[in-house]
Amino acid sequence: MDEAIRVESLKKYYGKFAAVDDISFNVQSGEIFGILGPNGAGKTTTLEILEGLHSPNDGSVTVLNLDVLKHPKEIKSRIGVQLQSSAYYDYLNLLEILTLLASFYPPNVRANPTEILRKVDLENKSRQRVNTLSGGEKQRFTIAASLINNPELLILDEPTTGLDPRSRRNIWQLIEGINQSGITVVLTTHYMDEAEALCRRIAIMDNGHLIAVDTPANLRASLEYQHAVKLTVETPLTEAQIVSLNNLDADIETKSENTYAIKLKGGTASLDLLLKSIVADNVKFQNLEITPVTLEDVFLDLTGNELQEAP
């Protein structure tokens, strides 16, 4: 399969601070590739190097088989970019902004602004200004703007940050539609559900390092345990009860006096054993939560940190 992006041993320093510290990955043509990590992990810096906004201190980066240092202009005319917080001219309407942006590209790649607005469902707002749009609409517009040159590769920096759940789903559908039309998509996010829902493969970044790159399923499977159990009991467990639970293939951690976090290994079969054991030991529980492991758990396992601060 073709490679849309190849990053090898990329390093980027700001003074002594390594924003991106020796990372390598590649993005296949046609996939949705996610870079997942907390704020300050180096996601945006990585994207901005791909976009030609910064030059790498070390390593090599090719986009659409072109070296970013040697062919910035050709890359720019073949990729679409949505910046994390880009605004647009206050005094122009949507159609005018798109027409203006289109004029920056070679004539043979320019898309029809009206058609682009239809694609993101903003056709009826084409005469409005950006500041009259809702958060979700604004974000759809910035995605529309990034499609103005019929790009082969679309780079989106946190496309849903700050949006309400409905708008987020809306954007996900839009991104999926764009991808199905044959455009490779690279996006950053700090929402693990977004990465899971959209991305074929995910790169996990933390503190400028790349920790893992794989499909969401493989990343989850890489954990020792497959289920996370949260048990809340009426009275604290006795020694005997704990020993009994420990006989299952599980790690038990006491979270507070009467809550326990259990990492349950051994797949679905051990769920059955857990329930039987709770009944057999006569544990009086108030609440029992069993969730399959998520990318959140993967991130925690790999970095020792939470991906997001608790809500």
B/e letters for 45-60, b = 16+ CB within 10 Å, e = fewer, are bbbbbbbbebebeebe
Which of 104, 180, 246, 292 forms a contact with other proteins (CB under 8 A)?
A: 104
Which of 68, 83, 144, 307 forms a contact with other proteins (CB under 8 A)?
A: 83
Q: Which stretch binds other proteins (CB under 8 A): 91-99, 183-191, 199-207, 239-247?
A: 91-99
Which of 26, 29, 30, 105 forms a contact with other proteins (CB under 8 A)?
A: 105
- What is the rounded distance in angstroms from the CA atom of residue 273 to the CA atom of residue 244? 11
Which of 66, 92, 163, 271 forms a contact with other proteins (CB under 8 A)?
A: 92
Q: Which of residues 144-163 bind other proteins (CB under 8 A)?
A: 149
Are the CB atoms for 55 and 208 separated by under 8 Å?
no
Return the closest-CA partner of residue 43 out of 185, 197, 208, 184: 208
Does 95 engage in binding with other proteins (CB under 8 A)? no
Are the CB atoms for 231 and 279 separated by under 8 Å?
no
Which of 9, 65, 67, 89 forms a contact with other proteins (CB under 8 A)?
A: 89
Other C-beta atoms lying within 10 Å of the C-beta of residue 180: 10
Please list, in sequence order, all residues whose beta carbon lies within 8 angstroms of the beta carbon of residue 61, skipping any fewer than 6 positions away.
5, 6, 7, 8, 10, 49, 50, 67, 68, 69
Does 73 engage in binding with other proteins (CB under 8 A)? yes
Closer residue to other proteins (CB): 69 or 87: 87
By three-state DSSP, how is residue 265 classified? coil
Which of 55, 65, 87, 285 forms a contact with other proteins (CB under 8 A)?
A: 87
Which of 9, 55, 65, 103 forms a contact with other proteins (CB under 8 A)?
A: 103
Structure tokens at 212: 């893992």
Encoded one letter per residue, x for contact with other proteins by CB under 8 A and - for no contact, window 15-54 reads ------------------------------------xxx-
Does 14 engage in binding with other proteins (CB under 8 A)? no
Give bridge partners of residue 155 from the DSSP assignment. Answer: 81, 186
Closer residue to other proteins (CB): 103 or 305: 103
Cβ of residue 15: shortest distance to other proteins, in angstroms? 16
Structure tokens at 77: 């005319």
Site residues (vs other proteins, CB under 8 A)? 51-53, 73-74, 76-77, 81, 83, 85-92, 96, 99-101, 103-106, 149
